[in-house]
Structure 1
C-alpha cells in the first residue's frame, strides 16, 4: 500500500519540532516532507550575538537533513496552499515553480516583519529576524564606524555614530543592549574617533522596555541600558525616515544612517489566501490544532490562533515557548489520526522568560522567580544551550573565546542591502526564546 504523505510547511520553531516528533513517531509508516526556503532551522534568539560579533553565524543554524532522520527536506518558498486539491505550490531556489500533494498538512509557515504605513521606512530601515539581516547589521555597524573615522566633518561623524532601534520588545532591547557594546569596542580601535559619542536610541510607543513582561524584568533591562548609555524614548516612534535620518513623532529630527526595525511580526500573508477563518491574520484552529472543516489540516506557531486554556476567550501569544509545544502536539495529533496514539488538546504552563542583555547581564524569571545580573546570565545561557537542537559545543566554545580574546571587527561584505529588504516575506520564525 502507498504510504500516506505528511507535509510540514515551514521549519521555524513549530515546524521543526513537528518534523522532529513525526520523525520519531511516523518514520517508516508515512512519507514525511518538510518544505522550507533554507536547509537549516534558525535559532533566532541568538541572532543579537551574531550581529554583535560574539557568535559566528553557523552557530545559530541547525542542519535539517542532519537532525531529522526519515524526513525529506524540500527547499522552496511556499506561495499557495490549495486546500480543495490538497496541493502546496512553491518556488524552488532557482525560481522554478513546483507543487506537492499531501494527505495531512501541518501549516507552520510562521511570520514576517510587521510593517507600518510610515513614509521612508521600507526604503531606509532594515529588519532583524533572519540570518542575512543579522550579518548585514554586523557589517553595517562596522562600516559606519569606519566611515566615521574617514570623515573630517563632525556632523557626518555624529550621524554615522548614531543608531536608532524602533521597538523595545524582546528583539529591540536585546539588539540595543548587545550592539552598543560592539560599537563601543569598534570606536576604541580608531584613535581618530577618540572622544566621539556613539549614540544609541531605543524607541517605543509603550511606557517601558519589555512591556509584555513582568515590570521587574523591565526595570533590570532599563538599568543595563542606562548604564551603557542607550537613550530610551517612550511614547515615541518614527514619523518619517530619510537617507539622512529619522523624523520622530515628537517632532525631533535625528541624523543617522542606521534605522533598525524591531516592531514585531505578523502572520505570513499566505494564511490570508487560504480563504479560511482567521483572527488577526492567524488561522483559527480548535484545541487539537485542527482546522475546522479541514480535518486533514493542522496549524501551529505564529500561523495559528490557538485557544489559550489559561485565558478563556484568548489565543496563545506568538512566542517560541508556545510554538515548540504546539509543533510537538500537532505532530502527535497527526500521528493519532493514523491510529498512533490518541488525540490531545493543547495545554501549557508558563515556564518563565529570559532576556540576554550582553556582557554579564541578563534578566530572567525562571518559574516566575525574578533574577538579574550574572546569575540570570547563567540561567539564560543554560536555557539556550538546552533549547538549541544542535551546535551546543560550538556555541559554548564561542562564548568561552569571547571571554578570553578580543572580539573581531571586520566587514565580510557577504550581504548587500538589496538582499535584506524590510518587506521581505521570509517565513523563518522569530520568537523570543523561553517566552
Structure 2
C-alpha cells in the first residue's frame, strides 16, 4: 500500500505537536507528512509582550520547525483554501506561487487572527501584537516615540508621543501594557530631557472587569498592580475613532497619542470560511474526536475549532489557549493513527491546568489548578510554566538566559529601524486579504490546470 498523505496546516502549538507525534508513531512506509506554514518557526505567543519590551530576544521565542521536525516536509506558505470534496488544499507559497496539495487526511490548525471592528481609523493607525514581526515593530515604535519626544521642543507634541493606549483587558493587553510600561519607565532614566511624569499608559476595555477568567480577587489584584504603576485602566469603554495623533473613546474622551496597540481578542483564521462547513462563533464545529462532520479525513483543532470541552461539559468548548492546543495536537495525531490502523479513536478530554499572567518584574498573578497566587510565587509559577511549554532545550536556555541578563543588566533601548520609513498596520502582518472565497476554491480545483 502507498503511504497515506497527511497534511498539517499551521505551524503553531497544535500543528507542530500533531506532526511531532505522527513522526514518532508512524513509519515512513505508513505516511508522508507535510506541514504548511508561512514561517519556518513555531512561535511561542505568550512571550510576545516580553519580546516587545526587550526582556527576551525574538529568536528565543521562535523555535525552528526544522529543529523540531525531522522527516516532515515543510512547505513555506499559507493555506488560502480547502476543497474537502476534492481533498485539495490550495497553498500560496512565500514566492506567491499557488500550488495544490492533495491529501488523504488533513489537520487544520491555522490558528487565529486579530479580531477587528468597523472603527474609523483602526485599520490605518492601530498596531497589533499577534505575530513576532508585530512585537518587534511595536518595540521599535515605542522607543522611536521616546527618541522623537526627547528631540522635539513642542511640549504638546512631546506629551502626545509619550501617551500610549492599549485596547484589550485580556491576557495579551494586560501583559503588553504592563511590560511596555516597565520599558518606558526604565528608559526615561536614559533620556534626561524627558519628564517621567509625561509618560502615560492607558488600558481600555469594553468589559466591566479586567481578565474575568482569573476570578474577582486576582482580577482586582492585577488591576491594583497596573494602577499602582500609574497605568490608567478604563473599563466599560471602547474606542470610537482612531487618528494619526489621537484616540477617541466612546465616553467622549480624546487621548492625544501616536500609539494604539490593539489586542481586543482574536477570530478564527479566514481559512475556516473556505470549507463551507458548520461553525460555532466563527470556529469550525467538530466532534469530540476533532473530526469535521461530513468531511472525510478532515480534522480541526486549536483556535480555529470549537472543540467540545468534555471536562467541563454543558456544551462548553475549549478555550483557545496553548495548553489545549498542544494536547489537542497529540490527540488528533493519535486519532489519525487509529483511523489508519483500524482501531477506535478517542475523544479529547483535558482538565484545564490554570492560568498565568506575567506582569513583569516581580509582579504576576497565577491560578494553577485553581490555586490563586500573586507576587513572586505567582511569577515563579508563570515563568516555570513558560519554560516547560517551550519545545526545545535550546529555547528554554535562551529564554532563561534572557530573563536573567535583563534582570541584571537591564535594557539598552536600541531600536532596529524596522520599517522605519513605511508605517505598517494590522493587515500588513497577518495577510488576511489573501484567502479565497469558497466559490473561488471550487473554481480553482475544478479547473484543468489544478493539481499540475
Matched, 1:9 2:9: yes
CA 1:39 to 1:341, structure 2 compared with 1: closer, same or farther past 3 Å?
farther
The whole-number CA distance in structure 2 between the counterparts of 1:119 and 1:212 is: 30
Question: By how many angstroms is 1:356 displaced?
Answer: 0.4
Q: State which drifts further: 36-45 or 220-229.
A: 220-229
Question: By how many angstroms is 1:279 displaced?
Answer: 1.1
Matched, 1:353 2:355: yes
Within 5 Å, which residues of 2 pair with 1:73-92? Answer: 73-92=74-93
Within 5 Å, which residues of 2 pair with 1:47-62? Answer: 47-62=48-63
Matched, 1:36 2:37: yes
CA 1:427 to 1:202, structure 2 compared with 1: closer, same or farther past 3 Å?
same
CA 1:320 to 1:370, structure 2 compared with 1: closer, same or farther past 3 Å?
same
SS at match of 1:117: coil
SS at match of 1:409: coil
Question: By how many angstroms is 1:192 displaced?
Answer: 0.9
SS at match of 2:160: helix
Within 5 Å, which residues of 2 pair with 1:386-425? Answer: 386-390=388-392, 391-416=395-420, 420-423=424-427
SS at match of 2:80: strand
User: Partner of 2:71 in structure 1?
Assistant: 70
Question: By how many angstroms is 1:76 displaced?
Answer: 0.6
Q: Scaled by the length of structure 1, what TM-score is found? A: 0.95
Q: Does the CA-based 8 Å contact 2:144-2:415 persist in structure 1?
A: yes
User: Partner of 1:432 in structure 2?
Assistant: none
Q: Does the CA-based 8 Å contact 1:10-1:34 persist in structure 2?
A: yes
CA 1:254 to 1:294, structure 2 compared with 1: closer, same or farther past 3 Å?
same
Matched, 1:191 2:192: yes
The whole-number CA distance in structure 2 between the counterparts of 1:406 and 1:111 is: 33
Equivalent in 377, 382, 385 of residue 383 of structure 1? 385
The whole-number CA distance in structure 1 between the counterparts of 2:323 and 2:215 is: 17
Q: Scaled by the length of structure 2, what TM-score is found? A: 0.92
CA 1:427 to 1:13, structure 2 compared with 1: closer, same or farther past 3 Å?
farther
**What do you get for the CA RMSD once the two structures are aligned?**
1.6
User: Partner of 2:330 in structure 1?
Assistant: 328
Within 5 Å, which residues of 2 pair with 1:119-268? Answer: 119-268=120-269
CA 1:340 to 1:358, structure 2 compared with 1: closer, same or farther past 3 Å?
farther
Question: By how many angstroms is 1:211 displaced?
Answer: 2.1
The whole-number CA distance in structure 2 between the counterparts of 1:64 and 1:340 is: 30
Q: State which drifts further: 158-167 or 268-277.
A: 268-277
User: Partner of 2:20 in structure 1?
Assistant: 20
The whole-number CA distance in structure 2 between the counterparts of 1:55 and 1:14 is: 23
Q: Deviations over 1:207-227 (max 9, x none)?
A: 121123222221221121012
Aligned residues: 428
CA 1:377 to 1:43, structure 2 compared with 1: closer, same or farther past 3 Å?
same
Q: Does the CA-based 8 Å contact 1:135-1:415 persist in structure 2?
A: no
